[in-house]
Amino acid sequence: MTITMNNIRPLTIEEMKQMVTTTSSLTFTTTSKEETYQWIEDTLFNIRYRKLNKKNRGIVRNYVIKMTGYSSTQTSELIKRFKEKGEIKIKEYARHKFPRTYDVQDIALLATVDEAHGCISGPATRTILERECHVYGQEEFTTLSKISPSHIYNLRDTFLYREKTKRFQKTQARHVSIGERRKPRPDGQPGYVRVDSVHQGDSHFGAKGVYHINLVDEVLQWEIVVCVEKISERFMIPALEAALQHFPFVIHNFHADNGSEYINHQVADLLNRMNIKLTKSRSRKSNDNALVESKNGSRIRKELGYGHIPQKHAGSINEWYQTYYNIYLNYHRPCGFGEEVIVNAKTGKRKRRYPHHDYQTPYDKLKSLPNAKQYLRSGITFEMLDKVAYAMSDTQFALKTKAAKSKLFSAINS
């Protein structure tokens, strides 16, 4: 509630005393400093404050404090100001300003010099300004010739200077010499592996989940998945080395996107020791790693979902991968390999079709290659692989894998 007081007549000392006493439980505040100061000035003038005795001055002072809400110290200061000058005015704050040495013309002249010389260092620019004035007699450089090198940088930060120069620099691309930026061309030969990482989400408290490393051969769609706690050198290097050893055929090429977990010197050294070439995706070519990215959704996300899984379970997940899931994917789950056909001879438009006879497991695809034995790693034979592939039927092994996954999630959720 807002109350506006307009004095029809000046109050007497007794009325002021009663006003302070009867409104002891009420408080008043002001909204405008100008109006408040004018009201105090009028009150002191009408009551003839200078001629009052000490007791009555105290009553007036308490009345002003009550009606304005000002503190005792502030009220005393305003009354003192009234007694000295006969009025109460708001003090205007005058900010101290140093005299300006370098004007608009000087800044524009500095910009011209920097444009001509390529914006060199402050001390070198100071020398040029001195030479322009004292050696070549250019009078317009008289003021700038006395500038300090450090203050040159202050003038360069002014709006006028930036408007005069308009200097821009393109963002420089960061060149990483690790890996070759190109799309691998296997030409029907296995051993060209694509790799990508899948993060298993964060908790509500910001804790990181496990990471899945997915490796897929481009020709056979042979897939090896491993799980690590973090994508750091400590966890990635052993996991990648173990995953590459799980492929039964020789690996020739390792292709990744531009993530730093793969494009680094540690991974490059590992691949060099294994005589594997490292390549990385090209700029603006989103399909360079499309195969493994599609497997991320149809394999990992479909089985493990998107929910957070704490990092401490990486070991048990990785054991399930090696014991069940990788075997199921490569020996018991058919993949569509398809064939590319031309649907419009004039435009050259192509389409990929997946006839029924092109659906087979990665292991069957490997065996179907001409002279398939030449691709196997040393010490690996098809007789050894057949024991893994035909130990159980596809459905039997799928049920066994599913039961192991249920047990795994029971342990994770407990």
Distance from C-alpha of 194 to C-alpha of 200, rounded to nearest angstrom: 20
DSSP-derived secondary structure letter, 202: B
Average pLDDT over residues 337-347: 79
Euclidean distance between the first and the last CA atom of the chain, given in angstroms as a whole number? 61
Say whether pLDDT at 90 is over 90: no
What pLDDT was estimated at residue 70? 86
Distance from C-alpha of 328 to C-alpha of 341, rounded to nearest angstrom: 31
Average pLDDT over residues 340-356: 79
Q: What does residue 412 show for φ and ψ, rounded to 5 degrees?
A: -70, -40
- Contact between 255 and 184 under an 8 Å Cβ cutoff? The reply is yes
Structure tokens at 144: 């700038």
Between β-strands 335-336 and 359-360, what pairing exists: parallel, antiparallel or unpaired?
A: antiparallel
Say whether pLDDT at 98 is over 80: no
Average pLDDT over residues 235-242: 93
- Taking only the tens place, the pLDDT of each residue in 47-87 is 888 888 888 888 888 888 888 888 888 888 888 888 888 88
What pLDDT was estimated at residue 330? 93
What pLDDT was estimated at residue 294? 87
Say whether pLDDT at 396 is over 60: yes
What pLDDT was estimated at residue 175? 58
The CATH classification of domain 190-414, taken from the options 3.40.50.1970, 3.30.420.10, 3.30.70.250, 3.40.225.10:
3.30.420.10
With a pLDDT cut of 90, the percent of the chain lying above it is 34
239 residue type, one letter: A
How far from chain centre, in Å, is Cα 326? Answer: 35
What pLDDT was estimated at residue 318? 94
With a pLDDT cut of 70, the percent of the chain lying above it is 92
Distance from C-alpha of 32 to C-alpha of 42, rounded to nearest angstrom: 15
DSSP-derived secondary structure letter, 158: S
Higher-confidence residue of 247 and 286: namely: 247
152-185 burial, b at 16+ Cβ within 10 Å, e below that, comes to beebbeeeebeebeeeeeeeeeeeeeebeeeebe
pTM as predicted? 0.58
Give one DSSP letter per residue of 72-131, joined into a string. Answer: HHHHHHHHHHHHHHSS--PPPP----PPP-S-HHHHHHHHHHHHHHTS--HHHHHHHHHI
Say whether pLDDT at 5 is over 60: no
- Contact between 5 and 67 under an 8 Å Cβ cutoff? The reply is yes
